[in-house]
Amino acid sequence: MDHVSLPQPVLIERNGTVLTFTLNNPDAGNEITGPMFDAMIAALRSEAIEPVARVLLLRATGTAFCKGRERAGRDAASIHAEVARLIEFKRLLRSTSLISVAQVQGDAFGFGFGLAILCDFAIVSSEARLAFPEMKAGLPPAAIMAYLGRYALPKRVFPMVLFGDPLSPATALEAGLITQVSEPGLLASATDTLIERIVGLNEGGARQCKAFFQAAEENALEQNFRFATETLTVSSLRLMQNR
């Protein structure tokens, strides 16, 4: 009897300086399952130990980008482990030195929308629908609210998570949750153009820029001034050595 090989639910590819995660679970709206989390976490941990790529591209097959995550836990221990795994994935995504780009070709709900927001750049199809629908089932989206206020003003985003109403990409752009809205037929070329610009930057400088930008969001002003002194000293010496 022949064995039929099932498609991988997430495709992880390295092409030169670009590491690509392609969500490949279209029949389930590209919901993220446990094995998908595990595979992406392993790849991000590997990059953290030994950086190879410069850009992380998140994209999806099918008509939806990501309609959420699988909720398989049925008791306190399994639910806690499930949530801890998704938090670890988000922590690694935010802290990676790679410049992350979400190419959102279709609907992004709940975890999927939060995933796009966490990326450094989110280019979204004008035909995509975006929403935080968790509260319609009485579940506060705590994992998203943990960082949502860093990207938009609270008075703008609290109604979005409280009521869970669908948002247009234009509304999300105005609120500061995404980077760019693109016509569907131009989405891939817009993503390629952005990645080319990122790769064209000095590698060490780009990694330092992201690290400082994120640290500055969380530190007090005096800490940022001290960090700026160190960063400018190191980067200036690096540039001198490269001349």
Residues 231 and 186 in one domain: no
Residues 192 and 216 in one domain: no
Q: How far apart are CA 34 and CA 124, in angstroms?
A: 25
Return the pLDDT at 38.
95
Query: 209-235 pLDDT, tens per residue?
Result: 999 898 888 877 788 778 777 877 877
Share of the chain above pLDDT 70, in %: 97
Residues 38 and 145 in one domain: yes
Residues 114 and 36 in one domain: yes
Domain that holds residue 236: 203-242
Q: In terms of Cα–Cα distance, which of 3, 43, 17, 44 is closest to 199? A: 17
pLDDT surpasses 70 at 1: no
CB 60 within 8 A of CB 22: yes
Residues 46 and 141 in one domain: yes
Return the pLDDT at 72.
82
Return the pLDDT at 5.
55
Domain contains 163 = yes
Domain contains 32 = yes
Domain contains 5 = no
pTM of the predicted protein model: 0.90
Return the pLDDT at 6.
59
Q: Residue length, the chain?
A: 243
Q: How confident is the model at residue 163 (pLDDT cuts 50, 70, 90)?
A: very high
Domain contains 4 = no
Q: In terms of Cα–Cα distance, which of 14, 10, 101, 17 is closest to 61? A: 10
Residues 189 and 76 in one domain: yes
Return the pLDDT at 234.
77
- What CATH code is carried by the domain that includes residue 155? 3.90.226.10
Query: 94-144 pLDDT, tens per residue?
Result: 999 999 999 999 999 999 999 999 999 999 999 999 999 998 989 888 888
Domain contains 2 = no
83 versus 98: the higher-pLDDT residue is: 98
pLDDT surpasses 80 at 237: no
Return the pLDDT at 235.
75
Q: What are the phi and psi torsion angles at 151 (to 5°)? A: -110, -20
Residues 88 and 126 in one domain: yes
Residues 19 and 84 in one domain: yes
160 versus 235: the higher-pLDDT residue is: 160
pLDDT surpasses 50 at 21: yes
Domain contains 208 = yes
DSSP 4: P
Q: How confident is the model at residue 167 (pLDDT cuts 50, 70, 90)?
A: very high
Domain contains 166 = yes
Domain contains 88 = yes
Which are the contacts of 112, defined by CB distance < 8 A and separation ≥ 6? 30, 32, 64, 65, 66, 67, 68
Return the pLDDT at 236.
75
Query: Counting Cβ atoms within 10 Å, is residue 32 exposed (0-12), middle (13-18) or buried (19+)?
Result: buried
Query: Counting Cβ atoms within 10 Å, is residue 11 exposed (0-12), middle (13-18) or buried (19+)?
Result: middle
75 versus 195: the higher-pLDDT residue is: 195
Return the pLDDT at 215.
87
Residues 110 and 224 in one domain: no
Q: How many CB atoms lie within 10 A of CB 76?
A: 8
Mean pLDDT is lowest, of 57-61, 90-94, 115-119, 236-240, for 236-240
Residues 226 and 164 in one domain: no
Our count of domains for the chain comes to 2
Residues 155 and 42 in one domain: yes
Return the pLDDT at 184.
97
Residues 63 and 178 in one domain: yes
